[in-house]
Amino acid sequence: MNLLIRKMTLDDLEQVTAIDQLSFSLPWPPRSFQFEVTDNPASRNWVAEMEGQTVGLLVAWLIVDEIHIATFAVHPNFRRQKIGEQLLAHALKSASAEGALKSFLEVRASNHAAREMYRKFGYLEDGIRKGYYKDNGEDAILMTLERIRL
Ligand SMILES: CC(C)(COP(=O)(O)OP(=O)(O)OC[C@H]1O[C@@H](n2cnc3c(N)ncnc32)[C@H](O)[C@@H]1OP(=O)(O)O)[C@@H](O)C(=O)NCCC(=O)NCCS
């Protein structure tokens, strides 16, 4: 099936918010996505679209030579089809073209699917933020990709 990765627009916000809510126990308020699209100059926002449907989202912040993955999800009905992999690769490649050399993120300790995907990309686990997530006090694992190579 044809997958298109493109910049997020205001027209995507309804579907983006729905995917976010299906994917996280602490979803972002819808106005946060709006802010990222319209008001945050550091923000690099992507969606994956399949046959007219938004099936994935990724929000990242480009700060000098670092790209911080802020949130990233694939609709539950479309997982394990390499959509996440393609979204992340696209975001990293695009950031690299803008001068990003490294990337970092936080991930829930229990999120083995995401940790596995990041490891595949070369991210290393290099820190823990104890009790970072407010809903259940779970730790965040900090992961860093020292050199973006795609
Ligand atoms: C993490 C997430 C974005 C992955 O998206 P996806 O499109 O399903 O992932 P892909 O099909 O591209 O998988 C790429 C690789 O990631 C790993 N992976 C993905 N899902 C996995 C799972 N459920 N269990 C173990 N490994 C998994 C595998 O290594 C996989 O490669 P493989 O299929 O060759 O084994 C998706 O599971 C998701 O939206 N989860 C909820 C939100 C979330 O946790 N976001 C990340 C926050 S830090």
pLDDT tens digits, residue range 65-115? 999 999 999 999 999 999 999 999 999 999 999 999 999 999 999 999 999
pLDDT band at 10 (very low <50, low <70, confident <90, very high): very high
* Mean pLDDT rounded to a whole number for the chain: 97
Is 111 within a domain? yes
In what helix (H) or strand (E) does residue 40 lie, and over which residues does it extend? none
CATH number where 91 lies: 3.40.630.30
| Per-residue confidence (pLDDT) for residue 64, from 0 to 100 | 96
Q: Which residues lie below 8 Å from residue 5, measured CB to CB, with a gap of 6+?
A: 46, 47, 48, 49, 86, 87, 90
H/E stretch holding 130 = none
36-45 CB contacts, 8 Å cutoff, 24+ apart? 36/8, 36/70, 37/8, 37/9, 37/10, 37/13, 38/10, 43/70, 44/91, 44/94, 44/95, 45/7, 45/8
Distance CA(2)–CA(39), nearest Å, equals 31
- Ligand 1 pocket: which of 85, 104, 117 to mutate (most atoms within 8 A of CB): 117
Name the pTM for this structure.
Answer: 0.97
For residue 97, CA distances in Å to 62, 88, 126 come to: 11, 14, 25
Atom of ligand 1 nearest to the CA of 73: 39
Distance separating the N- and C-terminal Cα atoms of the chain: 23
Q: Which residues are catalytic?
A: 106, 118
Classify residue 150: in a domain, yes or no. Answer: no
How far apart CA 150 and CA 142 sit, in angstroms, is 21
Is the residue at 114 inside a domain?
yes
Which structural domain, as residue segments, surrounds residue 35? 3-145
Q: How far is the CA of 116 from the centre of ligand 1 (A)?
A: 7
Task: Give nearest CA residue, ligand 1 atom 28.
Answer: 117
**How many distinct structural domains can be found in the chain?**
1
Please identify, by atom number, the ligand 1 atom nearest to the C-alpha of residue 114. 1
Beta carbon of 85 within 6 Å of any ligand 1 atom? yes
pLDDT on residue 8: 98
